Amino acid sequence: MSKSSTSSQGSLTCGLDRAAKENKPTTIVVFGASGDLAKKKTFPALFHLYQRKLLPSRLSIIGYARTHMSPEEFHKRVTSTFASDADKSSVEGFLKLCTYVSGKYDVAEDFQALRTEIEKGEHVLECSGSSDRVRVYYLALPPSVFVDVATQIKHNVYDGSCTNRVVIEKPFGHDLESSRKLSTDIGALFDEAEVFRIDHYLGKEMVKNILTLRFANVFYEAVWNRHYISNIQITFKEPFGTEGRGGYFDQFGMIRDVMQNHLLQVLSIVAMNQPKSLGAEDVRDRKTEVLRRILPIQLEDTFLGQYVASADGSKPGYKDDETVPQDSITPTFAQCVLHVDNDRWRGVPWVIKAGKALNEAKMLIRIQYKDMPNALFPNLARNELVLQVSPKESMYIKTIVKEPGLSTKLAMSELDLSYKTRYHNVNIPDAYATLILDVLNGDHSNFVRSDELDEAWRIFTPLLHQIEQEHIVPKPYEYGSRGPEGAYQFVEDRVGYKRTELEYHWEAPK
């Protein structure tokens, strides 16, 4: 295989241990190192990769935040969410890589001190001035300081003689205008090839499996179109509310927090045409192509809700949080109908829905096929392909069969691939570990490109502005319920989803 074809294969086929094998001297700077995201996601992900020997051995990890901490306090915070049975020698070895610098996010002198610390570490790694060096700047920060920190990095830390990569967390703006300004500001500082916009749902195992499922199996791709599919639903459910973070959540709401990014990214992978290759730009070209064909969402195709206290009063309502304004109309539940106007999907409605304080934790993709034409048997149920992304990775096809024995009665069963029962003793990594590894490998396949981001906001911004300007009041629903009354009927009426008339219940593996 030629060098060019090898390098275009993307994350599905490139060696996971590429960064470890190349062993380029690498510095990872985690900005916001004292925050929850770094504590709960970034450092545990790095430790997971360390345990799997997927990090370069010539590595320095530097935490940077405003909080003053001693090395011992920093190390305690880094390990505070590690598994209680984590191997002690591995933890000790990992912590030897970790140092801490305290500084403000808009003070040049503090970033110059950070640069000194980076260079000191590179000297220890015996790579000072080498062009093989890699510097990763991970911004585990609120969006209000993205540009300040990026500016300070470029002016006081950035080294053009080595590889620089900047990792940015969502939200990427508040609407189309603010997103474009953020992209312009970041683009003025860094090349697009240096920017990695993280959407952690793109690192989830089942989402990463969609391309393989579709394009490695002839029978799936053959029926992956408007001729066979009736409707598609992408659902995200959380069993908890804002839990004291209502004031922060109220600035964004469910549409901005989950739908415009996570769920729309999943939709683009499900809907995209086959890319020319598994190279990052070919994949992202196809995703962007789909987004460009999605019409802006209309208010009449939207159903909004906001949770109130549970029936027994044990769980508070959204506006019971003292940080949430009493007149808030911010939705904690939303479902929207989208339409992809291309030859593959024209006429097939897509539903994306997300909610907090619901009856269960679940994220899944449900593809419902059309009724069998000229059916020999009555159309009592439709085939469905269900991909459960979380909490337990699984895939099953709802299939009509004859009940065993002398009966000719029809029954609904499934062809089931549940990861837990099929893949024994396989440790599926957290999405953040997968994506950080992609950053180290320089693979953009699972990161959001600026034009993708622009199209995503184009789809949602008119709706968001209309909701706010017309003061659309969301329907109430009880904490722990399945959502607002009428939400399920809305889907049946709007997209023609058909419930089975056969008794059926899929059981997740124990």
DSSP code of residue 212? H
Supply φ then ψ for residue 161, to 5 degrees: -85, 0
CB 180 within 8 A of CB 174: no
Q: What does the alpha-carbon distance between residue 351 and residue 338 come to, in Å, rounded to a whole number?
A: 6
For residue 188, the one-letter residue type is A
Please report where in the chains the tokens 């839990």 appear, as a residue: 243
Catalytic residue, chosen from 48, 75, 262, 444, is: 262
Burial (Cβ within 10 Å: 0-12, 13-18, ≥19) of residue 279: buried
Nearest partner of 257 among 172, 360, 321, judged by Cα: 172
Sign of CA dihedral 45, 51, 54, 57: positive
Bridge-based pairing of strands 26-31 and 59-65 is parallel
d(CA 184, CA 446): 21
Active site (annotated) includes residue 262: yes
Task: Give the DSSP letter of residue 203.
Answer: G
C-alpha distance from residue 256 to each of 16, 235, 294, 354, 391 (Å): 32, 15, 17, 11, 22
Q: Are 270 and 213 in contact (CB under 8 A)?
A: no
Catalytically active residues, by annotation: 262
